[in-house]
Each structure stands twice: as structure tokens, then as C-alpha cells.
């Protein structure tokens, strides 16, 4: 009887986790997540890199189609025809504009008459959005943006940004390793101030003025299309003019070597990498509009500094108004260890940040005759 009561009074033990066991399971899950998260992030970045590479390839092929029709590379109209008291209303259109019909954006191209885009102070239309230029500048084209870009330039709300930049070569006024300068840009993009006149100061006089407008044809690329860069990528500023990331800035140094014709590229690069300072009133416009350009937005890049370092444009307004190719704007990206670079033949390569500088300078020129080899 006692045995019966004793058995009946027992409480059955339920199966379950103790607190310690639960904490162990949570810890194991945390470790697994920590192990898997980098792999997931890496897979996502690999997909973004592939998409970015495809964007560059499509844009470069569009450049070829443009060349088939117009017999030149796309024209970058980085100033307006009425500059310096001249007449005319065209200009202020980046090289992207000419590619629109060749990337299935004919509707945008047809709604923007290039004969009036430089009329008056056309920046007012960008700000207000009440001109055809300002309206079309708000059309977002996904192929003009790198999917790894993490920032948007909002210096003017709603204006569509860009990440891809065209090769203007090493700065024409700085000396290559063989000691040569050039009165014309050394890259592959055609560009014009839309006038043969200039302020007749600094680099906008004499040989520098006469060579500031430059049309490039594939026949001019004697180094070979497969050995000459066409397009790369560039990070934007957020519109404040400031950033903890120096790649999103436009900088200067007190030595002003960018405005000292004949300075060696090597001396210029060493000075820039160790002495750069941000100029916020320039930096705020970096990457703002794929369509509009007045030389401040930086649709062209140069082969001077190593990839993913700093950018230095010409210092005073008249300098980079004369030729946007006179700056040292550097490709940059959020892809680890390097940047994408399309070659003029349409192939796309990933350039490591550690690329030999002499090779980097060489692939930026279209007709300098340098030997680069295949190891880059």
C-alpha cells in the first residue's frame, strides 16, 4: 500500500533543455552564423562585381557602335559654347549622352536637343529641373551605376549619379618616364570645350590652348585597342564635399605640381600621396550627374595615381575649364583590392591596387609605344 502511494505520488520528469544546454546551442548557432556571414557577403560581392564588369563591357561596346556611326570616340562636351564671351548654346553634355541611342535609351536622347543644352547658365536648369537638360538629368540609368556603390550624391536632390569614367590618359602637361609631354590628351575619349577660345592664361594659351579640344579615332590608338584602357569606375561624394574616404574627394597640394608643365609623373605622384588636402567646394560635385558636365563632376579619369588612392584636378577654375584631361582623377571602387577596367577592344579586366605604376601609366596612353607585357 505504501509502495502504491509512493509510486503514485512521484512527479514525472519532462524531457527538455537545461539553461546550460540552451546557451551552448545559442553559442554554436552564433559561431555558424559568424562563419557563414563572410561567405554570404563574399558571394554577394562576387555577383556585384560580375554585374559591374558587365556594365563596363556594355558601355565599351556602345562606344564601338558610336564609333561605327560617327568615326570618333564619344564626345565629352565639358563646357558650353558661349564660354569666354563667345556665341552658341550647345555643350555641357558628358560622353554618356552620345551613347544613349546605343544602350536602348533613344527616348531620353530624343527628348534632349543638344543645340540648347548649354544655353545661359545651364546649371540653373539642373537645380530647378525646369529645362529639358534638368529633366533628363533626373532619369536614372542603372547601367551607369556600380552595384557596389554605397553612397549617393545629393548635392542636388533627384539628379541621377554615375560611377563609370572615361580614360583621358596621364595628364598631358606632366612628363612620362621618357620625359615627353603632349599638347593633346593621351587617352581614348574625345572631348571639347565647344569653343576654340579660352582665357589665354596658364594652360589655356599657346600649345595648351590649341590642343585642348581633341577628337580621337580608333586609328589613333597605335598602342593597340587591347593594350589601351577605355573606361573604369569612380566612387561619388555624398554632396557635402567631405568624406572619411579620401577616394571620394577632390584634393590639392601646396606644391601645385599638377599646374607645373614638365613635372615628372613620378614626382607628382609622390608629392600628392603624401601631401594631399581636401577641397570641399570641388568634392561636393564628384559624381553628381551622368548627363551634365561643367568640368566639376569628373566624368573623365587619368592614369597618374595608383587605383583607389586620391584625385587631384587642376587647381584654378580656368585650368580645368581648358581641358578636363589635365587633371589626375583616379579610378576607385568598393570592390576589394582593385577596380574594373575595360580595354578599348571591349574586354574587361580587374586591376589590382598594387599594379606597377609604369604599367598603369602605359595602358592609359593610346600612342606612346610603351611595352607592358602580359603580366598585369
For residue 269, give the H/E element and its range.
helix 265-275
Nearest to 301 by CA among 267, 240, 264, 351: 351
Residue 232 contacts by C-beta under 8 Å, 6 or more apart in sequence?
56, 164, 165, 167, 301, 307, 331, 339, 340, 341, 342, 351
168, 285 contact by CB (below 8 A): no
Alpha-carbon gap, residue 3 to 10, rounded angstroms: 11
Cα distance between residue 241 and residue 244, in whole Å: 11
pTM (predicted TM-score): 0.88
Rounded average pLDDT per 10-residue block, the chain, 376 residues? 47 64 82 73 82 97 97 94 82 95 92 84 90 93 96 96 98 95 95 80 76 93 96 98 97 92 96 96 96 93 98 77 87 97 97 96 93 71
Closest residue by Cα to residue 266 from 365, 360, 176, 327: 176
Here the cell at position 60 is: 565599351
Q: How far is CA 287 from CA 103, 180, 272, in A?
A: 20, 31, 21
CA angle, 60 as apex, 55 and 64 as ends, to 5°? 145
Q: What is the pLDDT of residue 13?
A: 52
pLDDT tens for residues 296-346? 899 999 999 999 999 999 876 667 677 888 899 999 999 999 999 999 999
Output the pLDDT for position 230: 98
Amino acid at each position: 500500500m505504501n509502495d502504491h502511494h509512493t509510486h503514485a505520488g512521484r512527479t514525472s520528469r519532462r524531457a527538455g533543455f537545461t539553461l546550460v544546454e540552451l546557451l551552448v546551442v545559442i553559442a554554436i548557432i552564433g559561431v555558424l552564423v559568424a562563419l557563414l556571414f563572410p561567405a554570404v557577403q563574399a558571394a554577394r560581392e562576387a555577383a556585384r562585381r560580375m554585374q559591374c564588369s558587365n556594365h563596363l563591357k556594355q558601355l565599351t561596346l556602345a562606344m564601338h557602335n558610336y564609333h561605327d556611326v560617327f568615326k570618333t570616340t564619344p564626345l565629352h562636351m565639358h563646357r558650353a559654347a558661349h564660354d569666354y564671351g563667345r556665341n552658341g548654346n550647345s555643350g555641357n553634355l558628358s560622353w554618356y549622352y552620345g551613347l544613349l541611342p546605343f544602350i536602348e535609351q533613344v527616348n531620353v536622347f530624343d527628348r534632349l536637343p543638344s543645340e540648347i543644352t548649354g544655353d545661359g547658365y545651364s546649371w540653373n536648369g539642373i537645380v530647378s529641373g525646369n529645362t529639358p537638360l534638368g529633366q533628363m538629368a533626373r532619369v536614372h540609368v542603372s547601367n551607369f551605376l556600380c552595384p557596389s556603390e554605397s553612397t549617393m550624391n545629393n548635392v542636388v536632390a533627384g539628379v541621377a549619379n554615375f560611377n563609370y569614367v572615361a580614360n583621358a590618359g596621364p595628364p598631358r602637361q606632366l612628363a612620362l618616364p621618357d620625359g615627353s609631354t603632349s599638347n593633346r590628351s593621351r587617352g581614348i575619349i574625345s572631348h571639347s570645350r565647344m569653343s576654340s577660345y579660352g582665357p589665354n592664361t596658364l594652360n589655356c594659351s599657346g600649345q595648351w590652348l590649341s590642343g585642348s579640344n581633341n577628337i580621337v579615332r580608333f586609328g589613333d590608338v597605335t598602342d593597340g585597342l587591347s593594350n589601351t584602357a577605355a573606361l573604369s569606375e569612380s566612387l561619388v561624394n555624398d554632396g557635402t564635399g567631405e568624406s572619411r574616404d579620401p577616394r571620394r574627394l577632390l584634393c590639392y597640394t601646396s606644391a601645385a605640381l599638377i599646374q607645373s608643365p614638365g613635372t615628372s609623373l613620378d614626382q607628382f605622384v609622390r608629392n600628392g600621396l603624401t601631401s594631399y588636402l581636401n577641397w570641399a567646394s570641388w568634392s561636393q560635385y564628384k559624381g553628381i550627374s551622368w548627363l551634365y558636365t561643367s568640368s566639376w563632376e569628373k566624368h573623365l579619369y587619368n592614369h597618374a595615381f595608383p587605383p583607389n588612392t586620391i584625385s587631384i584636378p587642376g587647381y584654378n577654375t580656368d585650368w580645368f575649364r581648358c581641358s578636363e584631361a589635365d587633371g589626375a582623377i583616379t579610378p576607385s571602387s568598393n570592390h576589394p583590392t582593385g577596380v574594373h577596367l575595360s580595354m578599348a577592344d571591349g574586354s574587361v579586366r580587374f586591376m589590382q591596387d598594387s599594379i606597377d605604376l609604369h604599367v598603369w601609366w602605359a595602358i592609359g596612353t593610346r600612342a606612346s609605344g610603351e611595352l607592358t607585357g602580359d603580366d598585369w
